[in-house]
Amino acid sequence: MLDTAEHTAMANAIRALAMDAVEKAKSGHPGMPMGTADIATVLFTKFLKFDPANPLWPDRDRFVLSAGHGSMLIYSVLHLLGVEDMTLDDLKNFRQLGSKTAGHPEYGHAEGIETTTGPLGQGLATAVGMALAERILNAEYGDDLVDHYTYVIAGDGCLMEGISHEAIDFAGHLGLSKLVVIFDDNGITIDGHTSVSTSIDHVARFEASGWRAERIDGHDPAAIAAALERAKTSKKPTLIAAKTVIGYGAPTKAGSHAVHGAPLGGTEIEGAREKLGWSYAPFEIPAEVRDAWRLAGLKAGHGRKEWEKRFKALPAETRATFDRRIRGDLPSDLAEKIAAYKAQLVSEKPNLASRKASENALQVLAAAAPELLGGSADLTASNFTKAKSQKPIVPGDFDGRYIYYGIREFGMAAAMNGIALHGGFVPYGGTFLVFTDYCRPAIRLAALMRIRAIYVMTHDSIGLGEDGPTHQPVEHLASLRAIPNLYVFRPGDAVETLEAWEAALGLERNPSLLSLSRQNLPAFRTETSSENKVSLGAYEAAPADGEAEVSLFASGSEVAIAFAAKALLDEAGHPTRVVSVPCFELFEAQSPEYRAETIGTAKVKIGVEAAIRLGWDAIIGSDGLFVGMTSFGASGPADKLYEHFGITPKAIAAAATKKLGG
Amino acid sequence: MLDTAEHTAMANAIRALAMDAVEKAKSGHPGMPMGTADIATVLFTKFLKFDPANPLWPDRDRFVLSAGHGSMLIYSVLHLLGVEDMTLDDLKNFRQLGSKTAGHPEYGHAEGIETTTGPLGQGLATAVGMALAERILNAEYGDDLVDHYTYVIAGDGCLMEGISHEAIDFAGHLGLSKLVVIFDDNGITIDGHTSVSTSIDHVARFEASGWRAERIDGHDPAAIAAALERAKTSKKPTLIAAKTVIGYGAPTKAGSHAVHGAPLGGTEIEGAREKLGWSYAPFEIPAEVRDAWRLAGLKAGHGRKEWEKRFKALPAETRATFDRRIRGDLPSDLAEKIAAYKAQLVSEKPNLASRKASENALQVLAAAAPELLGGSADLTASNFTKAKSQKPIVPGDFDGRYIYYGIREFGMAAAMNGIALHGGFVPYGGTFLVFTDYCRPAIRLAALMRIRAIYVMTHDSIGLGEDGPTHQPVEHLASLRAIPNLYVFRPGDAVETLEAWEAALGLERNPSLLSLSRQNLPAFRTETSSENKVSLGAYEAAPADGEAEVSLFASGSEVAIAFAAKALLDEAGHPTRVVSVPCFELFEAQSPEYRAETIGTAKVKIGVEAAIRLGWDAIIGSDGLFVGMTSFGASGPADKLYEHFGITPKAIAAAATKKLGG
Distance, CA of B63 to CA of A284 (rounded, Å): 63
Please compute the mean of the pLDDT values over residues B266-288 and round it to a whole number: 97
What is the per-residue pLDDT across B181-215, written as a single tens digit (0 to 9) for each? 999 999 999 999 999 999 999 999 999 999 999 99
DSSP, collapsed to helix, strand or coil, labels residue B535 as helix
- Which residue of A107, A109, A160 to mutate against B (max B Cβ within 10 Å)? A160
What is the per-residue pLDDT across B108-135, written as a single tens digit (0 to 9) for each? 999 999 999 999 999 999 999 999 999 9
User: Of the ranges A259-263, A593-597, B441-445, B459-463, which one carries the lowest mean pLDDT score?
Assistant: A259-263
Please compute the mean of the pLDDT values over residues B279-305 and round it to a whole number: 96
Q: Please, are residues B170 and B406 in contact by the beta-carbon 8 Å criterion?
A: yes
Q: Please, are residues A349 and A361 in contact by the beta-carbon 8 Å criterion?
A: no
Residue A528's pLDDT is what?
Answer: 87
Residues of B known to be catalytic: 409
Residue A370: closest CA among A324, A313, A425: A425
What is the b/e burial string over A67-97, where b = at least 16 CB atoms within 10 angstroms of the residue's CB?
bbbbbbbbbbbbbbbbbebbeeebbbbbbbb
Please compute the mean of the pLDDT values over residues A478-488 and round it to a whole number: 98
| Residues 6 or more apart whose Cβ sits within 8 Å of residue B327 | none
Tally A–B CB contacts below 8 A.
337
Residue B1's pLDDT is what?
Answer: 47
Give the nearest partner residue to A196 out of B95, B202, B404, using CB atoms: B404
Distance, CA of A26 to CA of A32 (rounded, Å): 16
Give the nearest partner residue to A208 out of B201, B478, B614, using CB atoms: B201
Residue B3's pLDDT is what?
Answer: 80
Please compute the mean of the pLDDT values over residues A534-547 and round it to a whole number: 98
Q: What is the average pLDDT value for chain B, to the nearest integer?
A: 97
Report the percentage of chain A scoring pLDDT > 70: 100
Distance, CA of A181 to CA of A189 (rounded, Å): 19
A613 φψ region: left (φ > 0), alpha (ψ -120 to 50), beta (else): alpha
* Yes or no, beta carbons of A437 and B435 under 8 Å apart: no
Q: Whole-structure pTM over 0.95, yes or no? A: yes
Residue A414's pLDDT is what?
Answer: 98
* Yes or no, beta carbons of A199 and B437 under 8 Å apart: no
Q: What is the largest CA-CA distance in chain B?
A: 90
E strand or H helix at A387, and its extent? none
Q: pLDDT band at residue A3, thresholds of 50, 70 and 90?
A: confident
Q: What is the DSSP letter of A43?
A: I
**pLDDT at residue B398 greater than cutoff 70:** yes
Distance from CA of B46 to the nearest CA of A (A): 31
Distance, CA of A516 to CA of A491 (rounded, Å): 7
Distance in Å from the first CA to the final CA of chain A: 88
A459 labelled binding-site residue = yes
With a threshold of 0.85, tell me whether the complex ipTM lies above it. yes
For chain B, the helix, strand and coil percentages under 3-state DSSP, each to the nearest 5: 45, 15, 40
What is the per-residue pLDDT across A421-464, written as a single tens digit (0 to 9) for each? 999 999 999 999 999 999 999 999 999 999 999 999 999 999 99
Distance from CA of A459 to the nearest CA of B (A): 14
Report the percentage of chain A scoring pLDDT > 90: 98
What is the per-residue pLDDT across B403-426, written as a single tens digit (0 to 9) for each? 999 999 999 999 999 999 999 999
* Yes or no, beta carbons of A98 and B207 under 8 Å apart: no
Q: pLDDT band at residue B558, thresholds of 50, 70 and 90?
A: very high
Q: What is the average pLDDT value for chain A, to the nearest integer?
A: 97
**pLDDT at residue A305 greater than cutoff 50:** yes
What is the per-residue pLDDT across A146-201, written as a single tens digit (0 to 9) for each? 999 999 999 999 999 999 999 999 999 999 999 999 999 999 999 999 999 999 99
**How many CB atoms are located within 10 Å of the residue A155 CB?**
31
Q: pLDDT band at residue A224, thresholds of 50, 70 and 90?
A: very high
Residue B529's pLDDT is what?
Answer: 86
**How many CB atoms are located within 10 Å of the residue B578 CB?**
26
Residue B528's pLDDT is what?
Answer: 87
Distance, CA of A658 to CA of A29 (rounded, Å): 61
Q: pLDDT band at residue B156, thresholds of 50, 70 and 90?
A: very high
3-state secondary structure A330-367: CCCCHHHHHHHHHHHHHHHCCCEEHHHHHHHHHHHHHH
E strand or H helix at A369, and its extent? none
Residue A1's pLDDT is what?
Answer: 47
Residue A81's pLDDT is what?
Answer: 97
Residue A72: closest CA among A19, A12, A151: A19
What is the per-residue pLDDT across A81-120, written as a single tens digit (0 to 9) for each? 999 999 999 999 999 999 999 999 999 999 999 999 999 9
| Residues 6 or more apart whose Cβ sits within 8 Å of residue B200 | A169, A172, A173, A208, A209, A210, B159
Residue B97's pLDDT is what?
Answer: 97
* Yes or no, beta carbons of B484 and A632 under 8 Å apart: yes
Q: pLDDT band at residue B662, thresholds of 50, 70 and 90?
A: low
Q: Please, are residues B407 and B460 in contact by the beta-carbon 8 Å criterion?
A: no
Please compute the mean of the pLDDT values over residues B438-460 and round it to a whole number: 98
